[in-house]
Amino acid sequence: MKPQKTILRALAGETLPTPPIWMMRQAGRYLPEYRATRAQAGDFLSLCYNSELATEVTLQPIRRYGFDAAILFADILLVPQALGADLWFVTGEGPRLSTITTQSELDALKPAADIHDHLNPIYTTVKMLSQELPSDTTLIGFAGAPWTVATYMIAGRGTPDQGPAHALKAENRAVFDGLMTRITEATIAYLQMQIDAGAEVVKLFDSWAGSLLDQDFIDYSIKPMQQITAALKKSHPNTPVIAFPRGAGERYQGAHAAIGSACVAVDDGVDAAWVAQTVQPDGCVQGNLKSSHMVTGGDALVAETRRIVDALKGGPHIFNLGHGITPDGDPENVQLMIDTVRGG
């Protein structure tokens, strides 16, 4: 039976007259209702692990805008925490983790099979969302791709160039490879449980893929995502995967085949017309309006949205930003974007 929801139809390879639309970080700080719920939760991690409140913030942009999909509200660093890393957030600065740079620190991590007790609140959120979302709204689960998660676990925080991870990769490949394997195994287990709980699509975010050069890009961005996608296809053959190797540039070409994903999400560093010629022939693409348009709005937002829709109208396309909306985004500009996509 053919899927009925628009995003599932696009992921199945159908070219639709109006592309379905959702937005990375659509549940977030740009929305006043999100800020109120986060204040109620007390802090970010408490919000992630409170299934009722996480369900609420996931639903908020669906109520306000009627997006075609909701994405589970969680964080990519919950997997490291479930593996045994310490995780906390510093206000105004972002996440902090205990570091994994030695064999003994790697050995102290839990096996992938033991992460589920910690992550049960996330699975509960997925179950609640699958019951509460409108019948025509697709539920997307997600995880960070292994390279991106590893960069945080090695450095203990976000870094501008992922330097600590590159250094460990060069200086102690055995520990680096061991960590990548552990993250890959945990990510498979995590996403399988999300799908069992009701996720209809899952997305892999490799936010720092662009810092990997040459063969390292293949070995540490593409191959781990391929391994995860292959495992999910085996256990859940009807659940499509969206892969997002952000910053891939010309290396987006061929990514569908290399990863095995139903869809490749592209960032705003590549032109939609190029994507239509070189990436979209291989399958569904997602993207790729610059998130700065959600701040500035106006005629430029409308013109660029129309240009992207027009460039990608010849094949399966899910409209999205090239990266997540920023906290200074204007909710009215989000509505303008949606109206432009849907109204021409």
Whether residue 25 lies in the annotated active site: yes
φ and ψ at 318, to 5 degrees? -110, 120
Catalytic choice (9, 30, 38, 252): 38
Residue 219, class by beta-carbon neighbours within 10 Å (0-12 exposed, 13-18 middle, 19+ buried)? middle
Q: CB atoms < 10 A from the CB of 104, how many?
A: 9
Whether residue 252 lies in the annotated active site: no
Distant-in-sequence, close-in-space partners of 39: CB < 8 Å, separation ≥ 6: none
For the four alpha carbons of 171, 175, 177 and 180, in that order, the dihedral sign comes to negative
* DSSP secondary structure string for all residues of 150-183: HHHHHHSS--SS-HHHHHHHHH-HHHHHHHHHHH
Whether residue 68 lies in the annotated active site: no
Q: Helix, strand, coil shares of the chain as percentages rounded to 5?
A: 55, 15, 35
Whether residue 38 lies in the annotated active site: yes
Catalytic choice (68, 75, 267, 268): 75
Catalytic choice (30, 65, 123, 152): 152
Catalytic choice (9, 25, 246, 251): 25
Whether residue 251 lies in the annotated active site: no
Residues annotated as catalytic are 25, 29, 38, 75, 152
